[in-house]
Amino acid sequence: MSVHEVSNATTNHPLSGVSMTGADIVVQVLADEHIDTIFGYSGGAILPTYDAVFRYNHQHQKDGQNSPLALIVPANEQGAGFMAAGYARASGEVGVVMVTSGPGATNTVTPVRDCMADSIPIVVICGQVPTNAIGTDAFQEAPVSAIMGAVAKHVLLVTETAELEATVRTAFEIARTGRPGPVVIDIPKDIQNQEAEFVGAGTLALHGYRSRLQAVVSNRLGDEDCQRFYDMLAQSERPLIYAGGGVINANAAEPMRELAHHFGIPVTTTLMALGAADTKEPLSLHMLGMHGTAFANYAVEDCDFLIAVGARFDDRVAGDPPKFAPNAKNIAHFDVDVSEISKVKNASWHHIGLLDRDLADLLTYGKKVKFAKDFGKWHTEIAALKDIHRMNYDRTSDLIQPYAVIEEINLLTGGKALISTGVGQHQMWAAQYFDFREPRLWLTSGSMGTMGFGLPAAIGAQFAHPDRLVIDIDGDGSMRMNIGELETATTYGLPVKVVVFNNYGDGMVRQWQKLFYQGRMSGSDKSLHNKDFVKTAEADGFKFAKRLDCKKDLRKVITEFINYAGPAFLEVVIDPDAGVYPMVGPGLSYAKMITGDHIVGRQKVTDKQPDPNEMF
């Protein structure tokens, strides 16, 4: 059987039958997939395809217009991977990375794993040494299939030029379908140089994958399934929707909102699903989990029917699974991946399918049978939870509080800015204190927790949405990881805004060390590092680069920063003792949540501290 699956013997593609080099085939498929931006760094084994991009742009560029395949060169390949991830997260389209062999490929391992962990669709095109040199420890050779196979959704090594076109098309299909994820294509240099006939259609014969995918697509909610769901809703007095990142990935935020609005069901989201529900709405509880809002976590404690949508009950949310949602008599679970069902918490009812379609079908059935129930008492309880246990901090301190900075930016942007973050305390502060009116406004490394994500992801998002306000909220530790990408932002004239909260150390690590290691700051205190972030930004071309270290200047400087027309950099020297609260220790239930000195908790926590082995 041929590796190609072509629906018709002939295609309508204008280039069908034309002989092309492998490199030209790759570029033409990218064009056919409507890719407009490639992030990557060149090198010997990928040069034929880089040259093909140049020639394609020269041939197809129209007067006064940008290149049809913009080629964005970062400081390093890890930056390219995170830019593609930011592009994909912000746009919902597949991000593309193009790198050379050996270190070029291995530098993308972390972004690939990051995308796999958060179900983000990217395609990584790696150059490889010639086929006859594979396995000989040739110059800049790396075993990409072996390395990436452990961290990617799929890896494809091309050994026949005739299979290249179908392989590239298949990579995009796998990346965007089902549960999205990263796909890596390893293309030897001789395959890029050899010629083959361009078909214009066709994919590899992945019968098992497509069969499983079709089973999900064809699995629609029946009337009996819907009736069982509404029977559980009828028995409930305190229903709660727990939305995960799958809602964003499936573009299912709108039908989920419609379902919640129609029946008056409050919504809380994971870190990855911020924006799935409009955080400014009365029945939105913002984020739950380890550093979720106290009122969201208490609502989970109180609810009697938990409706999980595209969520996986991970350890940041359900640290103590048996005690998670302890009063829920029923748990319903919607997902696209059957492996997530009852993996952590047993579901009373579940459905595997397409989230956007299934939620719409469920609402349609509810309207058809005229289901109605008054959850007014629960709404009153929700309002009280949000009032009593609202987010708060020391507003009288003479030191700049990071929460105040975010509140001021949020006031100016109204919950409509694209927010990217690194990883650490600043990530959690941004998640807690920003509003998100829409999906795909929040870009963060969730499951992997990769420092250095924020700046390149913001750059990728700015390419996806050149006319939108994109802000990277970063920390001094995370910023150091990929600080070279500051120059990428100015090189391409991107109006991205970069905030660095400087507490002279790895704040989240220090918070744990203060709590559980008697204040021994092993490797986390950077106060001896003589880094001048403002001068660094200026050296990389930022015309607006300022340091904010006086509380009385906060509003004025932030307003100037946000309103600046081009790329802008702001270092904010914050209270080094500012902490992230609420906090639920690893392996603990929400009943043991620590709310700190300024957020009202239900009770004092007297439980034992987590063992150091459980941290993070």
Provide mean pLDDT across the span 424-447. 97
Of 297, 273, 303, 272, nearest to 285 by C-alpha is 297
What is the architecture of the domain spanning 219-388?
3-Layer(aba) Sandwich (3.40)
CA distances, 277 to each of 335, 410, 411, 421, 465 (Å)? 18, 17, 19, 20, 21
Active site residue 165: no
User: How much is the pLDDT for 49?
Assistant: 98
Active site residue 61: no
Of 435, 485, 431, 429, nearest to 458 by C-alpha is 485
- Which of 297-306, 316-325, 435-444, 606-615 has the lowest average pLDDT? 606-615
CA distances, 528 to each of 95, 110, 401, 505, 531 (Å)? 39, 29, 22, 9, 9
**Cβ atoms 573, 553 nearer than 8 A:** no
- Residue 4 is classified by DSSP as B
**Which CATH code is given to the segment(s) 402-573?**
3.40.50.970
CA 133 to mean position of chain CA atoms: 37
Res 582 pLDDT > 70: yes
Q: Which residue intervals of the chain bear CATH 3.40.50.1220?
A: 219-388
Res 197 pLDDT > 90: yes
**Which CATH code is given to the segment(s) 19-216?**
3.40.50.970
Res 232 pLDDT > 80: yes
User: How much is the pLDDT for 309?
Assistant: 98
Active site residue 189: yes
Q: Which residue intervals of the chain bear CATH 3.40.50.970?
A: 19-216, 402-573
Active-site hit among 77, 163, 301, 408: 77
* Distance in angstroms (rounded) separating the CA atoms of residues 5 and 8: 9
Q: Which residues pair with 204 in a beta bridge?
A: 4
Which tens digit of pLDDT belongs to each residue from 162-190?
A: 999 999 999 999 999 999 999 999 999 99
**Cβ atoms 591, 526 nearer than 8 A:** no
User: How much is the pLDDT for 506?
Assistant: 81
Q: pTM for the complete prediction? A: 0.94
Active-site hit among 28, 172, 189, 192: 189
**Cβ atoms 136, 203 nearer than 8 A:** no
Active-site hit among 139, 227, 280, 609: 139
| Band of residue 522 on the pLDDT scale cut at 50, 70, 90 | confident
Active site residue 77: yes
Active-site hit among 428, 451, 508, 593: 508
Which tens digit of pLDDT belongs to each residue from 371-411?
A: 999 999 999 999 999 999 999 999 999 999 999 999 999 99
3-state secondary structure 10-53: CCCCCCCCCEEEHHHHHHHHHHHCCCCEEEEECCHHHHHHHHHH
Active site residue 614: no
CB atoms within 10 A of CB 350: 17
Res 516 pLDDT > 80: no
Which tens digit of pLDDT belongs to each residue from 318-339?
A: 999 999 999 999 999 999 999 9
Provide mean pLDDT across the span 92-102. 98
Res 605 pLDDT > 50: no
**Cβ atoms 470, 418 nearer than 8 A:** yes
